[in-house]
């Protein structure tokens, strides 16, 4: 073996070693900007150390998307806010390193019933509600996000509403949530006129269908929508870390509670375990309780924990996201987040290669 060949082999081995070390280094995976959603109707912030502060600091959360308003329509009231998030006055907001982003949830019924001549008036009112966040944080937000599961019937009205908001307040960046269905069928459902989208990697199946194992997230179901790795706008992604309890009465969907209520009701409700996540309400005091349950109701608990979080993150390799993207957890509920190991949460913010 001549000297030149030996040098070439040594160089090759050295490069291979470097590559192996790079692959083993957990820091080699690009990490996205870190965010979390707050989806409750009360937002109370404190400078005092607590579990929430600890979680946000440990995982270096940079952004918080706060739902400020729910807008819906009914024949009785017309288009109206049905839920407004209350916030506390806290003087040290301005010292926080977290960026607070207001989110407005708007139902499809709103855009089915919003008259063209009233669009600007509604846009002004909705923007004013979203920008209440400045009163509490002492900072004007840089971004405003709209959350609407638009359809073909409401697309034009929704997109026109966004354009109106941009015209009224052009100083803000606008983003919109995006479900997997309009991601896959963007040619049919259109692309919202915003600067970027937040792909919501959950609520994949009809929660009212009793037979679905987990309507919040299913790896197999999500994969059906990810055949095309392209979208004309920059994309952020929200991953699920929440639970809910679905109530079925007389074989039909009745209502939903936004968390796992089983441990809260066992003191005054007799439950019979049917399957891993389904419970029969056998008896309740006076046949009724504070949750509005009756004997004969079936409770179905659906959860997204560490397993689902890891699976959802693995799908990022099938999406047009890069190190400039934001990965958000949905949502800020310490009852759920404390069940997920630290390293699993950290891995959720990595973009798979």
**Backbone dihedral angles phi then psi of residue 131, each to the nearest 5 degrees:** -80, 5
**Dist CA 41 CA 70 (whole Å):** 10
**Dist CA 140 CA 143 (whole Å):** 9
What is the CB neighbour count within 10 angstroms for residue 230? 9
Structure tokens at 242: 């929440």
Domains of the chain: 28-242+304-348 (3.20.20.80), 243-301 (no CATH)
pLDDT at position 34: 97
**Dist CA 210 CA 277 (whole Å):** 11
pLDDT band at 9 (very low <50, low <70, confident <90, very high): very low
| Residues 126-175 pLDDT 10s | 999 999 999 888 889 999 999 999 999 999 999 999 999 999 999 999 99
CA distances from 14 to 10, 27, 29, 73 (A): 6, 20, 21, 66
pLDDT band at 15 (very low <50, low <70, confident <90, very high): very low
| Residues 227-277 pLDDT 10s | 989 999 999 999 999 999 999 999 999 999 999 999 999 888 899 999 999
Residue 280: strand pairing partners? 272, 298
Out of 2-16, 47-61, 241-255, 267-281, which region has the weakest mean confidence (pLDDT)?
A: 2-16
pLDDT band at 30 (very low <50, low <70, confident <90, very high): low
**Dist CA 10 CA 21 (whole Å):** 17
Nearest to 353 by CA among 19, 9, 12: 19
**Dist CA 103 CA 87 (whole Å):** 14
Q: DSSP assignment of 302-319, as one string?
A: EE--HHHHHHHHHGGGGS
| Block residue for tokens 């019979």 | 272
Q: Is the peptide bond before 301 cis (omega within 30 degrees of 0)?
A: no
Sign for the pseudo-dihedral over CA of 330, 131, 126, 184: negative
Q: What is the DSSP letter of 94?
A: G
The per-type count for the chain, helices as H runs and strands as E runs, is: 13, 16
Collapsed DSSP state (helix, strand, coil) of residue 300: strand
**What's the burial of 152, exposed, middle or buried (CB within 10 Å: 0-12/13-18/19+)?**
exposed
Question: For the chain, what is the mean pLDDT?
Answer: 90
Q: Are 327 and 348 in contact (CB under 8 A)?
A: yes
């Amino acid at each position: 073996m001549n000297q030149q060949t030996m040098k070439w082999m040594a160089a090759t081995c050295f490069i291979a070693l470097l590559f192996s070390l790079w692959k083993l280094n957990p820091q080699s995976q690009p990490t996205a900007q870190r965010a979390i959603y707050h989806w409750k109707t009360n937002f109370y912030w404190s400078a005092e150390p607590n579990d929430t502060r600890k979680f946000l600091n440990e995982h270096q959360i940079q952004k918080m998307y706060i739902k400020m308003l729910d807008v819906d329509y009914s024949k009785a009231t017309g288009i109206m806010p049905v839920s407004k998030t209350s916030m506390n006055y806290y003087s040290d907001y301005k010292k926080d390193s977290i960026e607070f982003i207001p989110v407005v949830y708007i139902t499809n019924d709103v855009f089915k019933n919003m008259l063209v001549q009233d669009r600007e008036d509604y846009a002004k009112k909705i923007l004013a509600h979203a920008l209440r966040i400045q009163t509490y944080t002492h900072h004007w937000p840089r971004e405003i996000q709209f959350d609407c599961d638009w359809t073909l019937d409401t697309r034009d009205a929704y997109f026109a509403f966004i354009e109106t908001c941009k015209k009224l307040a052009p100083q803000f960046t606008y983003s919109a949530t995006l479900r997997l269905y309009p991601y896959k069928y963007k040619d049919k459902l259109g692309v919202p006129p915003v600067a970027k989208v937040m792909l919501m990697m959950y609520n994949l199946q009809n929660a009212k269908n009793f037979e679905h194992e987990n309507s919040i997230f299913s790896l197999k179901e999500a994969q059906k929508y990810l055949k095309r790795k392209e979208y004309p706008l920059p994309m952020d992604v929200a991953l699920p870390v929440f639970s809910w309890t679905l109530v079925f009465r007389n074989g039909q969907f009745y209502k939903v509670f936004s968390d796992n209520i089983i441990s809260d009701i066992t003191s005054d409700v007799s439950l019979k375990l049917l399957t891993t996540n389904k419970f029969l309400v056998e008896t309740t005091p006076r046949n009724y309780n504070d949750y509005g349950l009756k004997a004969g109701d079936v409770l179905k608990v659906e959860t997204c924990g560490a397993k689902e979080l890891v699976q959802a993150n693995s799908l990022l390799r099938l999406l047009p996201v890069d190190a400039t993207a934001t990965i958000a957890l949905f949502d800020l509920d310490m009852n759920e987040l404390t069940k997920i190991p630290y390293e699993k949460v950290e891995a959720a913010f990595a973009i798979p290669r």
